[in-house]
Amino acid sequence: MANPLTPAERARAGRDLVGVVVAIAAGTAVCAALDGVISLTSQAMVYLFAVVAASYALDRVGAIASAVGAVTAFNFFFVPPRYTLAVEHREHLIALVAMLAVALLVSTLSAALKRETAAAHASETRARQLRELAAGLLAAERESDVLRIGREALARRFTGPVFLVGARDGEVDDRTAIPDDVARGLRCCVGEAAVLGPGTGRWPGLDAWYVPLGPRDSVVGAACVAPADAADAVGREHAEAIAALLAQAIGRLRLAEANLATSAALQRQHLQSTFLAAVSHDLRTPLTAIVAAASSLQQQRARLPVGEQDRLLAAIVADASHLSAVTENTLQLVRLAAGGEALRLEWQAVEEIVGSVVARLRARPGGDRIGVRIAADLPLVRGDATLLGQLVGNLLDNALKYSDGPVQLVALRAGKRLLVSVKDRGGGVGEADRARVFEPFYRGGRIGATRGAGLGLALCKAIADVHGASLVVSARPRGGTRFTLALPVEAQPEAALAT
Amino acid sequence: MSLAVLVVEDDREIRDVLRASLAAEGFDVLTAVSLSEAAALLDHARVDVVVLDLGLPDGDGAELVRRIRRTSSLPVVIASARHQEAEKIALLDAGADDFLTKPFAVGELLARIRVALRHRGTAVQPAITRYDAGGLVIDLDAHRVERNGEALHLTPTEFNVVACLVRADGRVVTHRQLLVDVWGAEHIDDVHYLRLYMAQLRAKLEDVPSEPRHLVTETGVGYRLATE
């Protein structure tokens, strides 16, 4: 051996030497004590016992040394001619050779036994480690946890640098803090979905093993472990076993993730189809009325009394306006839900917004039922005038639709909030429905009563939300419904000089 | 000779309806389906008022408005959908006279056209300096404001704001135009000035300030004095 012995090895060699000397000395002493009492053959047996004992305890070198030493001592002290190393009889020579053979055989057997014992120990340790790893992985909730636990497990067995990365669709996830050559190896390993490195037949020249996590087509990562020795099949198997556990854990997490995404997508799809159903109902109803009225005018005009013609024309205009409002609400709701469009938040006067909405609604049938009470000196609010106008308009529109009596709009300040309430004396919203009236597709008990409530309130809620405002519905003491929008009042802008 | 309206609109149905209803009102109606066709017509035909649809296939209506404004005060009324708010305001700032939000009733279109036409040729006519409607009289030359026969006192800034609206003669004045005219270009983003002064003006000029009949708010766009 070119390598110098380590201190541990030197100490071991010293202990072995002492063992050999002690065994031979003991054998010699026993033989000497019994010299003349027992035959030469029996003395050989004593030496043989010493050799067997030494061979069992020591390694192969020690066993050979003890056999050679025992034969030499036996020859020197007891085989005639005594005190020489000359061998007189061929018989004695055979005894010597036999003793050497026995020593070697025993040493070999005992070494094998020891190796197997050690291997059993090691495999028991590995099995325990794998069990612990599996248990640890069960508790892991994120892929990063799995990778961390995996790195620790690999580092317990492999002293060289250990790398472990996740991979998706044949691409290594994160290559930060990984040397380039290792990253290349990992990528290759993921691509080939096979163990690379010494003893694998693939890239045996490497000084590390690259182990993929998972089988071909579902490689979820790769590990790089060193040192790697072609002869250390057990080590490689251990690395592969760890890799299999990690692959399982990561696979489990990804499956859960995919399931979650799928159910979210399903839910979205469900919402979308409900949304579409609601919208198409809201669009189709006025369209049906328009087509009916228009075609009636087209085909039967001559037979229709003038009053009836006027009524049909008015219906067309009213339904088309309604259709336009529904379309506007739907588009706005979708726009707000998408969240892409930036809001135009400017200082707004609630009085102005209410004023222009009321002016528009006054022109409609029933518009004269609206009463407006706005407190003087209301603070300005930050908001998008078009959206806030749409909100107030929808609330008033609803109130007009669902009640026959007066509709009140009240705006006043209450501490840090500006309250805008729309109150009617209609049938009211049932307790159970109150929480749900703002859901996009909810039509509550009002189905059939009148049409097109569909998205209006949902849009109101969405608009309130983007303004950091609350919108609640409550029952009025003596019947009817009150919707209250509470807008936050911010620090007012520096007022322009009142000149 | 009847007045000529140029309708720039790419949808055939809408174009046909507008043509029919405007012709019924006695206008000569020219139509164009694109900005380039409109530009060509403007070069070769007599046009008294333009109704311009936004979102035409060949680009931005602002270019046409700027082109018209370089050479004339030809009235331009914009017709736009809600989601074209920003473009609409840009065109008004660029010199368009007024706007209509789609869908609109024919009555609204005719009203806007009438208002716009009143302005025809203001370059040569004296500027509008008087407003008299529903008991409210504003006389810019005499610097006098009366409500139901009673003289009102306005602060100088309030008067300047009102004067701006009176001169527009019923057309919408954008926030930007008002801020620049009254306070100067450096206050172009101070919309809250307008909110505050308009509130003061409504309190003084309107019978019911929360439901103004004169100072009309065009939500998100600007203000106008109601003339009809």
Question: Which residues does B contribute to its contact with A (CB < 8 Å)?
Answer: 82-83, 85, 103, 105, 155-157, 183, 190-193, 195-200, 202-203, 209-212, 216-220
Contact A356 B219 (CB under 8 A): yes
Q: What is the C-alpha separation between A103 and A98, in angstroms, rounded? A: 9
Question: Which residues in A lie closer than 8 A to residue B218 (C-beta atoms)?
Answer: 356
Exposure of A417 by Cβ count < 10 A (0-12 exposed, 13-18 middle, 19+ buried)? middle
Please state the pTM of the whole predicted model: 0.63
**Res A1 pLDDT > 70:** no
- pLDDT confidence of residue B40: 93
First to last CA, chain A: 105
- pLDDT confidence of residue A291: 92
- pLDDT confidence of residue A446: 47
Q: What is the C-alpha separation between A352 and A358, in angstroms, rounded? A: 10
- pLDDT confidence of residue B73: 85
- pLDDT confidence of residue B160: 95
Which whole number is the average pLDDT over A26-41?
86
- pLDDT confidence of residue B157: 93
Alpha carbon of B174 to those of A347, A394, A499, B128: distances in Å? 15, 26, 22, 18
State the pLDDT confidence band at A5, using cuts at 50, 70 and 90: low
- pLDDT confidence of residue A183: 87
Which of B141, B54, B86, B87 has its CA nearest to residue A384?
B86
- pLDDT confidence of residue A3: 53
Which whole number is the average pLDDT over A93-118?
80
Give the tokens for residue B119.
Answer: 């302005």
CB B155 within 8 A of CB B144: no
What are the pLDDT digits (tens) for A198-208? 888 888 888 89
Q: What is the C-alpha separation between B122 and A485, in angstroms, rounded? A: 46
Contacts of B4 (CB under 8 A, 6+ apart): B27, B28, B29, B30, B45, B46, B47, B48, B49
* B195, B207, B221, best to mutate vs chain A, most A CBs in 10 Å: B195
State the pLDDT confidence band at B124, using cuts at 50, 70 and 90: very low
Beta-carbon neighbour count of residue A190 at 10 Å? 26
- pLDDT confidence of residue A444: 54
- Beta strand B28-32 with A381-383 is unpaired
Whose tokens are 């892929």? That residue is A143
What are the pLDDT digits (tens) for B139-174? 999 999 999 999 999 999 999 999 999 999 888 999
Q: How much of chain A is helix, strand and coil, in % rounded to 5?
A: 60, 10, 30
Whats the size of chain A, residue-wise?
499
By mean pLDDT, which of A409-423, A437-451, B90-104 is the weakest?
A437-451
- Beta strand B150-152 with B144-147 is antiparallel
State the pLDDT confidence band at A443, using cuts at 50, 70 and 90: low
State the pLDDT confidence band at A498, using cuts at 50, 70 and 90: low
- pLDDT confidence of residue A271: 73
φ and ψ at B56, to 5 degrees? -75, 155
φ and ψ at A161, to 5 degrees? -60, 140
Give the tokens for residue A136.
Answer: 């640890």
By mean pLDDT, which of A82-86, A352-356, B98-102 is the weakest?
A82-86
What are the pLDDT digits (tens) for A464-476? 989 999 999 998 8
CB B73 within 8 A of CB B96: no
State the pLDDT confidence band at A426, using cuts at 50, 70 and 90: confident
Which whole number is the average pLDDT over A15-37?
87
Contact A358 B156 (CB under 8 A): no
Which whole number is the average pLDDT over A435-462?
67
Contact B217 A495 (CB under 8 A): no
Strand partners, A381: A348
Which of A267, A212, A269 has its CA nearest to residue A244?
A212
User: Three-class SS of residue A209?
Assistant: strand
CA angle A368, A374, A380 (to 5 degrees): 130
CB B65 within 8 A of CB B76: yes
Which of A58, A50, A44 has its CA nearest to residue A23?
A50
Could you say which of A349, A493, A499 has the minimum Cβ distance to residue B155? Answer: A499
Beta-carbon neighbour count of residue B215 at 10 Å? 23
The CA-based dihedral angle spanning residues A169, A175, A178, A181, taken in that order and rounded to the nearest 10 degrees: 60
Sheet holding A221-225, edge to edge: A171-172, A163-168, A221-225, A209-213
Q: What's at A461, amino acid-wise?
A: K
- pLDDT confidence of residue B18: 92
Contact A356 B217 (CB under 8 A): yes
Higher pLDDT, A133 or A80: A133
CA distance A383 to chain B (A): 10
Three-state secondary structure of B120-170? CCCCCCCCCCEEEECCEEEECCCCEEEECCEEECCCHHHHHHHHHHHHHCC
Residue A346, chain B, CB below 8 Å: the answer is yes
Which whole number is the average pLDDT over A254-275?
83
By mean pLDDT, which of A163-177, A237-251, A320-334, A362-376 is the weakest?
A163-177
Could you say which of A374, A386, A498 has the minimum Cβ distance to residue B219? Answer: A386
CA angle B111, B113, B118 (to 5 degrees): 100
- Four-residue CA torsion sign, B203, B208, B209, B212: negative
Q: In percent, how much of chain A has pLDDT > 90?
A: 25
Question: Which residues in A lie closer than 8 A to residue B155 (C-beta atoms)?
Answer: 498-499
Report chain B's mean pLDDT, rounded to a whole number.
89
Please give the sequence-ordered ranges of beta strands (E in DSSP) within A327-480, or none if there are none: 346-348, 370-374, 381-383, 407-414, 417-423, 470-475
Higher pLDDT, B81 or A443: B81
First to last CA, chain B: 25
- Four-residue CA torsion sign, A311, A316, A320, A323: positive
> What is A399-415 written as a DSSP string?
HHHH-SS-EEEEEEEET
Q: What is the C-alpha separation between A387 and B122, in angstroms, rounded? A: 36
User: Three-class SS of residue A35?
Assistant: strand
Residue A122, chain B, CB below 8 Å: the answer is no
Contact A359 B218 (CB under 8 A): no
Which whole number is the average pLDDT over A277-306?
87
Report chain A's mean pLDDT, rounded to a whole number.
85
Residue A360, chain B, CB below 8 Å: the answer is no
Closest residue in chain B to residue A349, using alpha carbons only: B195
Question: Which residues in B lie closer than 8 A to residue A321 (C-beta atoms)?
Answer: 103
Contact A351 B210 (CB under 8 A): yes
- pLDDT confidence of residue B175: 94
